Each structure stands twice: as structure tokens, then as C-alpha cells.
């Protein structure tokens, strides 16, 4: 029920065409007109400032504001489509979607979080968001699949209890005071959150609560032990980065925006009810997740990796010019058994290129053209 092989741009094209038509018809915004682009850019910047603001912890999207509608349609929705495809691609490496019968997209907005799911799905959001979503949706069978109700979804879940339900929260937890209790009734959950220190650290703390409530983390973590970034640092936050796919209209928009999105960041979790024993789940062997960009230092380069509860770095000496390891944040890698962890420096020193292998090459958007 997922189709991650199709080229993203072609996959989203009908939706993006509809968005352009709606912008033109309902908001008189032509993405190819310089003056219109500036007006749109101002709306995007205002909403972006609201999301970035440190004043309110909750970043509520005011859908009743026409400028916000415009900004979300033209910009935020498109970026979140790319983020959720990245998460789907990573989770799919572990057959995460196998057995899922129904998707519940909570705080669905325009449906970016669950766009890659092509099976039955229900969208939960407020009526204005629904109305906008309905105009661009090309994969929703009937209006019955939209729900405008608040947090208590117990009745809905009871109705669906015979089905295996995947809950998706894409940038919606950030609008809520806390996660709803009913999340523990879901079989699988995907959370996608902005990569912002305090928000991402809240997600890392939620990870621990989920593990204590019979869930196991499928991605990005390769282990179920305590999160080392949470344990050993007060500042670190786990986040991923992907290369952004930019069609021409998006590039034009960025020329009038102070924000540039050559790459996109996000924090995420894909979890499921524990299916294997703890012993089996640790059988990922030498797998590790790259959790930083390269950190150049005197005489060497370091890259933070996550493999277990310890804070660890992969390091390569600069004088060793034979080493060519070009890993990027978010990638899954495999470490050779011959490598040693040096406790004092928290480093795993790589001497040869073949000691570390990349496991996942596809970042989900790289083949967009
Ligand atoms: C930033 S938007 C994200 C939209 C979409 N999921 C995406 O990834 O682009 C957050 C959404 O959560 C919705 N939301 C927040 N609290 C909600 C609640 N209690 N019930 C339903 N929707 C809610 C908002 O209306 C908004 O559409």
C-alpha cells in the first residue's frame, strides 16, 4: 500500500498542479508572477516566524487566516511531503508497513504526513483544514474519511479494533499540550516533528515512554536502549537531514525568501508494538545511525553515530588519505566487527574505507527530476 519507487515529482505532480490552480483561482496568486511571489513570500515568512517563535510552546496553525492557507498550500505542505517520504523510506527498510490495514492521520492539515500511504486512511483536523485538503486530495475515497473531532478517539479506535492501525502525527504533536493517552492503543505510530532543540528532545523523551509501554522503535534508532543524546547531553537533539527537491516555481519562491532550503531537517520516530523479544531486537549487529554532520577537528574528522546507549563518534585521521567515507546525517551504516570502541575518547577509529558500509542509499527525494 505504499509506492516509494515512483519519482517524487511525478508522484506529487497532480497535487502540485491542483495547488497552483487553487492559488490562482481562490487567492489570485500566480507562482510565475514576480509581484505575486513577493506577496506569497511575505505570507510564508509570517507563518514561518510564528512556527519559529519561542514565545508560545504551541505553534497552532490558524487555518481561518487566508494568508496562512496560501502559505501552507504553496510551501509548508510541499516541504512536509518530502519529509514524510524520507521517513516512509527509512521505515520501509524494516518492513514497517507490513500488516497495516488503516492509517489515522492526526492533525492531517493537507495530508502531507500520510500522502505516501495508498490504502484506507482517515484524516483528523478542523473543518477549514479539511475544506482546503478536499480541494487538493486526489486519493481520498469519500468525505466519510474526514473527521473533525478533538483528542478523544477511543470510540473510533474501538470501532476499528479489528484492524491494524498506523497513527501518523506529522508536525501535529507540536500543536498539542501533550500526546494523547490513546496513542498507546495504536499498533504503529509515525511522529514527524520540526528539528528544534526542545521539541526534538520532547520526542526523544516520548520515545522512552513508548518503549516502557510495549513499543519498539523501528527507525531512526537501531536499538531499544536509553537515548544517548538525552542521557549524556542537555543540548543535543536527534535529527535527520535530506536534500530538498526543488521544482522551478519553488526555486523562484526562494529567490524572494530569506529562508533557503537546500537541505531540510526533521526529527522523527517510527514505532510499533513489540513483536520480538528484546534479545532478537538487538540482533541488528553492527548497524548504526549517523546522527550528526561531519565535525572537522584538528588532525581528524568526527561523525556522531548512534548504536546503543553510549555516545559515540566515528573518527578518521586526516593524514590517512586513503579513507573515503562520505556518510551524511540520517544514513544507516554497518560497522565491521574488527572496529574497537575507545572509551576515553568515545571514538571508533576507522582505518580503512571497507570497515564501514552504507546500508541505505536512497534518501527518498534524490531522484526527483
Ligand atoms: C503544522 S500542521 C501539520 C499538517 C500536516 N500534518 C503536515 O504535515 O503538513 C498541524 C495540524 O494539526 C492540527 N491540529 C492541532 N491540534 C489538533 C487537534 N486537537 N485535533 C485535530 N487537529 C489538530 C492543526 O489544525 C494543523 O492542521
Alpha helices in the chain (DSSP H): 8-27, 34-52, 66-71, 77-92, 127-136, 154-159, 197-212, 228-232, 248-255, 278-281
Confirm or reject: Cβ of 140 under 6 Å from ligand 1. Answer: no
Q: 212-266 pLDDT, tens per residue?
A: 999 999 999 999 999 999 999 999 999 999 999 888 888 999 999 998 888 999 9
Name the closest-CA residue to atom 19, ligand 1.
150
Residue 117 DSSP class: B
Confirm or reject: Cβ of 193 under 6 Å from ligand 1. Answer: no
When pLDDT is cut at 50, 70 and 90, the band that residue 276 belongs to is low
Confirm or reject: Cβ of 82 under 6 Å from ligand 1. Answer: no
Count the Cβ atoms, other than its own, within 10 Å of residue 303. 25
Partner residues linked to 267 by β-bridges: 193
Domain residue ranges in the chain = 8-280, 285-358
Torsion angle (degrees, nearest 10) of CA 29, 32, 36, 38: 130
Mean residue pLDDT of the chain comes to 87
Residue 63 DSSP class: T
Confirm or reject: Cβ of 125 under 6 Å from ligand 1. Answer: yes
Q: What is the pLDDT of residue 154?
A: 75
What's the burial of 171, exposed, middle or buried (CB within 10 Å: 0-12/13-18/19+)?
buried
pTM of the predicted model as reported, rounded to 2 decimal places: 0.92
d(CA 350, CA 369): 35
Report the chain's C-alpha Rg in angstroms: 21
Q: What is the pLDDT of residue 358?
A: 85
Q: How far is the CA of 109 from the centre of ligand 1 (A)?
A: 5
Q: How far is the CA of 323 from the centre of ligand 1 (A)?
A: 45
Mutate to test the pocket of ligand 1, among 175, 180, 181, 196 (most ligand atoms within 8 A of CB): 175
Q: What is the pLDDT of residue 4?
A: 81
Q: Which of 1-10, 71-80, 271-280 has the highest mean pLDDT?
A: 71-80
Task: Check if the beta carbon of residue 159 is closer than 8 Å to that of residue 104.
Answer: no
Q: What average pLDDT does range 266-280 have in this prediction?
A: 79
Closest-lying ligand 1 atom to the alpha carbon of residue 124: 21
Q: How far is the CA of 188 from the centre of ligand 1 (A)?
A: 19
Q: What is the pLDDT of residue 58?
A: 78
May I ask the CATH architecture of the domain 285-358?
Beta Barrel (2.40)
Confirm or reject: Cβ of 113 under 6 Å from ligand 1. Answer: yes
Choice between 15 and 62, residue whose per-residue pLDDT is larger: 62
Of the candidates 49, 62, 268, the one whose C-alpha atom is nearest the C-alpha of residue 169 is 268
When pLDDT is cut at 50, 70 and 90, the band that residue 368 belongs to is very low
**SS3 (DSSP) at 50:** helix
Q: What is the pLDDT of residue 270?
A: 98
Confirm or reject: Cβ of 112 under 6 Å from ligand 1. Answer: yes
Task: Check if the beta carbon of residue 110 is closer than 8 Å to that of residue 128.
Answer: no
Torsion angle (degrees, nearest 10) of CA 92, 195, 23, 175: 100
Burial 241-261 (b: 16+ CB within 10 A, else e): bbbbbbbebbebbbeebeeeb
d(CA 31, CA 37): 6
8-27 helix and 77-92 helix, angle to the nearest 10 degrees:
160
Mutate to test the pocket of ligand 1, among 62, 107, 115, 173 (most ligand atoms within 8 A of CB): 107
Q: What is the pLDDT of residue 281?
A: 41
Task: State the residue for C-alpha cell 525568501.
Answer: 257
Is the pLDDT reported for residue 3 higher than 90?
no
Confirm or reject: Cβ of 267 under 6 Å from ligand 1. Answer: no
d(CA 328, CA 293): 6
Q: How far is CA 12 from the centre of its chain?
A: 17
Task: Check if the beta carbon of residue 118 is closer than 8 Å to that of residue 101.
Answer: no
Name the closest-CA residue to atom 13, ligand 1.
107
Of the candidates 221, 328, 235, 236, the one whose C-alpha atom is nearest the C-alpha of residue 282 is 221
Confirm or reject: Cβ of 108 under 6 Å from ligand 1. Answer: yes
* Residue 53 to residues 48, 57, 241, 268, 347, Cα–Cα distance (Å): 8, 8, 22, 21, 37
Q: 118-174 pLDDT, tens per residue?
A: 888 999 999 999 999 998 887 766 777 888 766 567 777 776 777 899 999 999 999
d(CA 196, CA 189): 20
Q: How far is the CA of 246 from the centre of ligand 1 (A)?
A: 24
Confirm or reject: Cβ of 114 under 6 Å from ligand 1. Answer: no
Task: Check if the beta carbon of residue 293 is closer than 8 Å to that of residue 300.
Answer: no
**SS3 (DSSP) at 216:** strand
Confirm or reject: Cβ of 69 under 6 Å from ligand 1. Answer: no
Is the pLDDT reported for residue 278 higher than 50?
no
Task: Check if the beta carbon of residue 41 is closer than 8 Å to that of residue 256.
Answer: yes
Q: How far is the CA of 251 from the centre of ligand 1 (A)?
A: 27
d(CA 196, CA 207): 16
Q: What is the pLDDT of residue 67?
A: 96
Best CATH choice for the domain 8-280 from the list 3.40.50, 1.20.120, 3.60.21, 3.40.710: 3.40.50
Amino acid at each position: 500500500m505504499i509506492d516509494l519507487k515512483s519519482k517524487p515529482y511525478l508522484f506529487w505532480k497532480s497535487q502540485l498542479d491542483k495547488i497552483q490552480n487553487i492559488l490562482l483561482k481562490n487567492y489570485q496568486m500566480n507562482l510565475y508572477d514576480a509581484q505575486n511571489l513577493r506577496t506569497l513570500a511575505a505570507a510564508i515568512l509570517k507563518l514561518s516566524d510564528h512556527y519559529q517563535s519561542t514565545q508560545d510552546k504551541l505553534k497552532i496553525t490558524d487555518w481561518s487566516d487566508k494568508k496562512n492557507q496560501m502559505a501552507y498550500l504553496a510551501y509548508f505542505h510541499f516541504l512536509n511531503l518530502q519529509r514524510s517520504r524520507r521517513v516512509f523510506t527509512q521505515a520501509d527498510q524494516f518492513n514497517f508497513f507490513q500488516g497495516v490495514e488503516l492509517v489515522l492521520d492526526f492533525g492531517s492539515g493537507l495530508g502531507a504526513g500520510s500522502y505516501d500511504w495508498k490504502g484506507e486512511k482517515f484524516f483528523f483536523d478542523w473543518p477549514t483544514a479539511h475544506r482546503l485538503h478536499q480541494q487538493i486530495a486526489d486519493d481520498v475515497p469519500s468525505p466519510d474519511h474526514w473527521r473533525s473531532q478533538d483528542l478523544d478517539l477511543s470510540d473510533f479506535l474501538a470501532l476499528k479494533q479489528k484492524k491494524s492501525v498506523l497513527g501518523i502525527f506529522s508536525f501535529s504533536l507540536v500543536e498539542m499540550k501533550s500526546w494523547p493517552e490513546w496513542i498507546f492503543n495504536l499498533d504503529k505510530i509515525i511522529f514527524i516533528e520540526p528539528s528544534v532543540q526542545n521539541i526534538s528532545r520532547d520526542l526523544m523523551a516520548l520515545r522512552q515512554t513508548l518503549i516502557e509501554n510495549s513499543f519498539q522503535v523501528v527507525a531512526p534508532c537501531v536499538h531499544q536502549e536509553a537515548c544517548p543524546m538525552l542521557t549524556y547531553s542537555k543540548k543535543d537533539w536527534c535529527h535527520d537531514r535530506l536534500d530538498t527537491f526543488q521544482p522551478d516555481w519553488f526555486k523562484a519562491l526562494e529567490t524572494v525568501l530569506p529562508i533557503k532550503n537546500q537541505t531540510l531537517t526533521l526529527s522523527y520516530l517510527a514505532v510499533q508494538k513489540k513483536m520480538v523479544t528484546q534479545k532478537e531486537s538487538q540482533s541488528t549487529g553492527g548497524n548504526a545511525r549517523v546522527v550528526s554532520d561531519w565535525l572537522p577537528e584538528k588532525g581528524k574528522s568526527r561523525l556522531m553515530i548512534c548504536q546503543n546507549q553510549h555516545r559515540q563518534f566515528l573518527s578518521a585521521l586526516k593524514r590517512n588519505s586513503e579513507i573515503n567515507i562520505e556518510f551524511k546525517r540520517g544514513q544507516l551504516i554497518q560497522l565491521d566487527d574488527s572496529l574497537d570502541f575507545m572509551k576515553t575518547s568515545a571514538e571508533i577509529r576507522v582505518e580503512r574505507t571497507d570497515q564501514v558500509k552504507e546500508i541505505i542509499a536512497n534518501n527518498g527525494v534524490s531522484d526527483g527530476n
